[in-house]
Amino acid sequence: MGLDAAPITFSILGITILASLGAWSNRALMHGQVLQPYAVVRYGRWHQLLTSGFLHANGAHLFLNMFTLFFFGPPMERALGSLDFLVLYVGSLLAGSFATLAFHKDDPGYRAVGASGAISGVVFGFVLFRPLAKIYLFLIPIGIPAVLFAIGYLAVSLYGARTRWGNIGHTAHLGGAVGGIVLTVLLYPRVVGIFLSHFR
Q: What pLDDT, in 10s, does the model give residues 3-54?
A: 557 999 999 999 999 999 999 999 888 889 999 999 999 999 999 999 999 9
Residue among 34, 55, 56 at smallest CA distance from 45: 34
Separation of alpha carbons 63 and 65, rounded Å? 6
The mean pLDDT value of the chain amounts to: 90
Number of compact structural domains in the chain: 1
Element (H or E) spanning 129, and its range? Answer: helix 116-129
Residue among 171, 167, 35, 178 at smallest CA distance from 100: 171
- 103 Cβ neighbours under 8 A, 6+ residues apart: 37, 161, 171
Distances 1 to 71, 129, 144 between C-alpha atoms, Å: 11, 20, 25
Separation of alpha carbons 35 and 49, rounded Å? 6
Give residue 60's domain range.
3-197
Rounded average pLDDT over 122-140:
89
CB 42: neighbour CB atoms within 10 A? 11
CATH number at residue 174: 1.20.1540.10
Separation of alpha carbons 77 and 82, rounded Å? 5
Element (H or E) spanning 191, and its range? Answer: helix 191-197
Report pLDDT digits (tens) over 132-142. 999 887 666 78
pLDDT at 164: 65
